[in-house]
């Protein structure tokens, strides 16, 4: 197997304070991607503090005991590297990508940010305005906003349905005590992973983490109730838009589901690219949309599959009809082996190409330990993809798709345009 596929260079160390340190040495690279993964996100919130995980992610960039916001922003950029972060439903991630010789600087800055943030009141007021603008920007982007609306309806009254950015009314009342409480609760070493991939020596990496990462031992309770039984819905909102934006779908599989790769195959076939059925039928054949695609969200104990179409309001019914036709077709007719073979090659090619990126390798390693608590080898992934077959895909399609329970939400023009 090619060098880029070898995984004998993966190492794991658990420090005395409970922090998991992972690394993967990738021969031939001159860079290293480093990330601090916190096993909590908006799923750990409640109705009153919705958005606090994302707000906290912003706040650690505003200054630490050792660095100003400008020093944080410029430290790695001045070296040609990058520093960023994102918040999801179940994880929050801070990551850096630099030349290998700057590994020490990356570990130092990331540790400083997550271990020693200041959370100054004046910075909270400033960042509140920034996040409120971010929320407004999403609402002004219907192709993005519709997925927030869809998840909110699908996972009604459950944190998985909360928007990651929070809501205007919750963000407006965040204060230092709320931010500090969330940080003290979830930013605990046993709830975190420090991960690196690239030209990295594991022993050196562990020594750097020991030097710079000094949070005391502690863990966090990540227990979360399962979402209630999902009630299918049809819902429409009006907004100042020109197109009708359509999001349809329903519940799917958990991250650890043995049918995970069958679902990836379904998604690839239906809306995973320009050669997908929805793209070819709705856009290429009928010319009803510019954007049309499907997507999957995997969570610890559940999941979601969704379909998006942006079309002229007069074509809404026709577009939805074509969508449901394709869904009905795949749940009643097994895909030919030739099609399954092509999907397998797409999935394998996409996966293997991703292994050439240090950041993708770091993300893959960390996610495997977040969800599986072990590394999933390249060989195992390829074997799972090769195990996809017509019968297993048909069985899953019949399990997931039912035209009577398909949920749909639309954003329609308000009439002002």
* Span 383-395, pLDDT tens digits: 999 999 999 999 9
Q: Does domain 234-413 have CATH number 1.20.120.80?
A: no
- Summarised one tens digit per residue, pLDDT across range 67-76 is 999 999 999 9
Mean pLDDT of the 362-389 span: 97
Note whether 3-212 and 234-413 share their fold. Answer: yes
- Least confident window among 132-136, 229-233, 269-273, 379-383: 229-233
For 214-242, the pLDDT digits (tens) are: 999 988 787 777 777 788 899 999 999 99
Rounded (5°) CA angle 373-377-378: 145
pLDDT value for 353: 97
Q: Locate tokens 């290429």: which residue? A: 284
The mean per-residue pLDDT over the stretch 31-54 comes to 98
Note if 169 is an active site residue: no
Q: pLDDT value at position 46? A: 95
Residue 235 — φ and ψ, nearest 5°?
-145, 145
| Catalytic choice (7, 24, 45, 57) | 57
Averaged over 305-325, what is the pLDDT? 98
Q: Which of the two residues, 100 and 226, has the higher pLDDT score?
A: 100
Instruction: Give the separation between CA 305 and CA 309, rounded to whole angstroms.
Output: 14
Strand ordering across the sheet containing 244-251: 234-239, 407-413, 244-251, 303-311, 292-298
Res 1 pLDDT > 50: no
Cα of first residue to Cα of last residue in the chain, in angstroms, is 58
Helix (H) or strand (E) holding 385: helix 378-386
The pLDDT score that the predictor gives to residue 158 is 93
pLDDT in tens, 246-266: 999 999 999 999 999 999 999
Superfamily of domain 3-212, CATH level 4: Metalloenzyme, LuxS/M16 peptidase-like (3.30.830.10)
Per-residue confidence at 115, pLDDT binned at 50, 70, 90?
very high
| Rounded-to-integer distance, Cα 249 and Cα 268, Å | 15
Q: Is 155 helix (H, G, I), strand (E, B) or coil?
A: coil
Q: What is the mean pLDDT of the chain?
A: 95
Instruction: Tell me: pLDDT of 292 over 70.
Output: yes
Q: Which 3 state secondary structure label does DSSP give 251? A: strand
Calpha distance 373→351 (Å, rounded): 20
Its pTM stands at 0.95
Range 47-51 average pLDDT: 97
20, two tokens:
């998991």
Pairing type for strands 303-311 and 292-298 reads antiparallel
Question: What residue spans define the domains of the chain?
Answer: 3-212, 234-413
Is the pLDDT assigned to residue 317 strictly greater than 70?
Answer: yes
CA angle 275/278/284 to nearest 5° reads: 70
pLDDT in tens, 167-213: 999 999 999 999 999 999 999 999 999 999 999 999 999 999 999 99
Average pLDDT of the residues in 83-105: 98
* pLDDT-based confidence at residue 404 (cuts at 50, 70, 90): confident
pLDDT at residue 403, as a whole number: 82
Average pLDDT of the residues in 119-131: 98
């Amino acid at each position: 197997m090619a060098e880029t596929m070898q995984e004998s260079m993966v190492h794991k160390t658990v420090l005395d304070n409970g922090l998991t340190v992972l690394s993967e040495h990738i021969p031939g690279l001159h860079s290293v991607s480093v990330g601090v993964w916190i096993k909590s996100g908006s799923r750990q919130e409640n109705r009153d503090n919705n958005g606090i995980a994302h707000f906290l992610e912003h706040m650690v960039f505003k200054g630490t005991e050792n660095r100003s916001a400008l020093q944080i922003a410029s430290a790695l950029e001045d070296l040609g590297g990058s520093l960023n972060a994102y918040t999801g439903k179940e994880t929050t991630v801070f990551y850096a990508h630099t030349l290998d010789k700057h590994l020490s600087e990356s570990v130092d800055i990331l540790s400083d940010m997550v271990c020693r943030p200041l959370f100054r009141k004046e910075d909270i007021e400033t960042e509140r305005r920034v996040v409120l603008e971010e929320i407004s920007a999403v609402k002004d982007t219907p192709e993005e906003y519709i997925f927030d609306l869809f998840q909110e309806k699908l996972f009604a009254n459950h944190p998985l349905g909360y928007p990651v950015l929070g809501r205007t009314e919750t963000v407006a009342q965040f204060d230092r005590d709320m931010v500090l409480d969330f940080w003290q609760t979830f930013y605990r070493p046993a709830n975190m992973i420090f991960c690196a991939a690239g030209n990295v020596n594991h022993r050196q990496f562990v020594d750097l983490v020991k030097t710079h990462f000094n949070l005391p031992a502690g863990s966090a309770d990540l227990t979360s109730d399962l979402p209630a039984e999902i009630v299918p819905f049809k819902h429409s909102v009006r907004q100042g838009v020109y197109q009708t934006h359509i999001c349809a779908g329903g519940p799917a599989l958990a991250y650890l589901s043995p049918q995970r790769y069958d679902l990836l195959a379904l998604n690839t076939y239906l809306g995973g690219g320009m050669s997908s059925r929805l793209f070819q039928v709705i856009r290429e054949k009928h010319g009803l949309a510019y954007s049309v695609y499907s997507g999957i969200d995997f969570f610890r104990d559940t999941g979601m599959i969704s379909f998006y179409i942006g079309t002229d309001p007069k074509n809404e019914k026709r577009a939805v009809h074509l969508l449901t036709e394709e869904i009905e077709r795949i749940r009643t007719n097994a895909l030919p082996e030739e099609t399954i073979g092509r999907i397998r090659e797409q999935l394998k090619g996409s996966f293997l190409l991703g292994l050439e990126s240090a950041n993708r390798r770091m993300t893959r390693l960390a996610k495997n330990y977040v969800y599986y608590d072990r590394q999933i080898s390249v060989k195992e992934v390829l074997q799972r993809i090769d195990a996809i077959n017509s019968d297993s895909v048909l069985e899953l399609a019949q399990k997931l798709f039912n035209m009577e329970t398909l949920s749909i939400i639309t954003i329609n023009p308000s009439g002002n345009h």
